Chain A
Amino acid sequence: MTDAFEPEIVAFCCHYCAYTAADMAGSKRISYPPNVKIIRVPCTGKVDAIHIMRAFEKGADGVYVAGCLEGDCHFKTGNIRAAHRVRRVQALLEEIGMEGGRVEMITMSAGMGERFAQTAREFTEKIRALGPSPIRDAIRQSGRRAAG
Chain B
Amino acid sequence: MNAALLLADQGHRVYLVEREARLGGIAATVRTTLEGDDVGRYMSDLVETVQSHQKIQVLTQAIIVDHKGMPGRFTTGIQTGPRMHYMQVEHGVTILATGALANRPAQYLLGEDDRVLTQLDMDAKIEDDPESIRSMKQVVMIQCVGSREPGNPNCSRICCQSAIKNALRMKALNPDMQIYVLNRDIRTYGFQEDYYREARKQGVQFIRYEPDRRPAVRALENGLVVDAYDDILGCRLEISADAVVLSTGLIADDETTEDLSMLFHVPRSDDSYFLEDHIKLRPTDMSVRGFFLAGTAHAPKSIRESIAHGQSAAGRAMTMLAKHWINLGAAVARVDGAKCAACLICVRACPYNVPFINAEGYSEIDPAKCHGCGICAADCPARAIQLMQYEDDQILAKLDGLFERMN
Binding site for B on A (CB under 8 A): 8, 10, 15-17, 20, 23-24, 27, 37, 39, 41-43, 45-48, 50-51, 54-55, 58-60, 71-72, 74-78, 81, 85, 109-114, 136, 139-140, 143
Contacts A109-B267, A111-B268; A46 near B407 (Cβ below 8 A): no
Q: Are B269 and A46 in contact (CB under 8 A)?
A: no
- Would you call B237 an interface residue if the criterion is a C-beta within 8 Å of the partner chain's C-beta atoms? no
Question: Which residue of A43, A50, A54, A58 contacts B406 across the interface (Cβ within 8 Å)?
Answer: A58
Cβ < 8 Å to A, chain B residues 320-375: 331, 349, 351-352, 371-375
Q: Are B268 and A110 in contact (CB under 8 A)?
A: yes
Contacts A41-B374, A110-B268, A112-B270; A27 near B399 (Cβ below 8 A): no
Nearest A residue (CB) for B400: A58
Q: Are B398 and A111 in contact (CB under 8 A)?
A: no
Q: Please, what's the 1-or-0 string for B244-282, where 1 marks a CB less than 8 Å from any CB in chain A?
A: 000000000000000001100101111100010011100
Q: Are A46 and B275 in contact (CB under 8 A)?
A: no
Nearest B residue (CB) for A76: B351
Q: Which residues of chain A are near B288, meaning CB under 8 Å?
A: 74
Q: Are A51 and B375 in contact (CB under 8 A)?
A: no
Binding site for A on B (CB under 8 A): 261-262, 265, 267-271, 275, 278-280, 287-288, 331, 349, 351-352, 371-375, 377-379, 387, 390, 392, 395-396, 398-400, 402-403, 406-407
B148 to chain A, nearest CB (A): 15
Nearest B residue (CB) for A77: B351
A102 to chain B, nearest CB (A): 15
Question: Which residue of A46, A50, A76, A112 contacts B387 across the interface (Cβ within 8 Å)?
Answer: A46
Question: Which residue of B268, B278, B390, B392 contacts A50 across the interface (Cβ within 8 Å)?
Answer: B392
Q: Are B390 and A41 in contact (CB under 8 A)?
A: yes
Nearest A residue (CB) for B266: A74
Q: Are A59 and B403 in contact (CB under 8 A)?
A: yes
Roughly how many angstroms separate A47 CA and B271 CA in the complex, as a whole number? 30
Q: Are B402 and A10 in contact (CB under 8 A)?
A: yes
Question: Which residue of B287, B331, B403 contacts A20 across the interface (Cβ within 8 Å)?
Answer: B287
Q: Are B395 and A43 in contact (CB under 8 A)?
A: no
Q: Are B265 and A42 in contact (CB under 8 A)?
A: no
Contacts A10-B399, A58-B399; A48 near B407 (Cβ below 8 A): no
14 further contact pairs, Cβ within 8 A, besides A39-B395, A109-B267: A42-B387, A45-B378, A46-B378, A46-B387, A48-B377, A50-B396, A51-B392, A58-B399, A74-B265, A75-B351, A76-B351, A110-B267, A114-B270, A140-B406
Contacts A27-B279, A51-B395, A110-B267; A43 near B402 (Cβ below 8 A): no
Q: Which residues of chain A are near B407, meaning CB under 8 Å?
A: 58-59, 139, 143
Question: Which residue of B262, B268, B372, B403 contacts A42 across the interface (Cβ within 8 Å)?
Answer: B372
Roughly how many angstroms separate A50 CA and B396 CA in the complex, as a whole number? 9
Nearest A residue (CB) for B267: A110
Contacts A16-B267, A74-B265, A111-B267; A45 near B375 (Cβ below 8 A): yes
Roughly how many angstroms separate A105 CA and B372 CA in the complex, as a whole number? 21
Question: Which residue of B261, B374, B375, B403 contacts A60 across the interface (Cβ within 8 Å)?
Answer: B403
Nearest B residue (CB) for A85: B378
Q: Are B403 and A43 in contact (CB under 8 A)?
A: no
6 contacts between A and B (CB under 8 A): A20-B275, A46-B378, A71-B262, A74-B265, A77-B375, A109-B267
Q: Are A59 and B406 in contact (CB under 8 A)?
A: yes
Q: Which residues of chain A are near B331, meaning CB under 8 Å?
A: 42
Q: Are A75 and B390 in contact (CB under 8 A)?
A: no
Q: Are B373 and A75 in contact (CB under 8 A)?
A: yes
Roughly how many angstroms separate A24 CA and B271 CA in the complex, as a whole number? 13
Q: Are B267 and A47 in contact (CB under 8 A)?
A: no
Q: Which residues of chain A are near B378, meaning CB under 8 Å?
A: 45-48, 81, 85
Roughly how many angstroms separate A130 CA and B71 CA in the complex, as a whole number? 46
Q: Which residues of chain B are near A143, meaning CB under 8 Å?
A: 407
Question: Which residue of B268, B287, B392 contacts A48 across the interface (Cβ within 8 Å)?
Answer: B392
Q: Which residues of chain A are near B262, meaning CB under 8 Å?
A: 71-72
Roughly how many angstroms separate A20 CA and B349 CA in the complex, as a whole number? 25
Q: Are B399 and A45 in contact (CB under 8 A)?
A: no
Q: Which residues of chain B are near A59, meaning CB under 8 Å?
A: 403, 406-407
A19 to chain B, nearest CB (A): 10
Closest 6 CB pairs of A and B: A46-B374, A111-B269, A75-B373, A110-B267, A45-B375, A58-B403
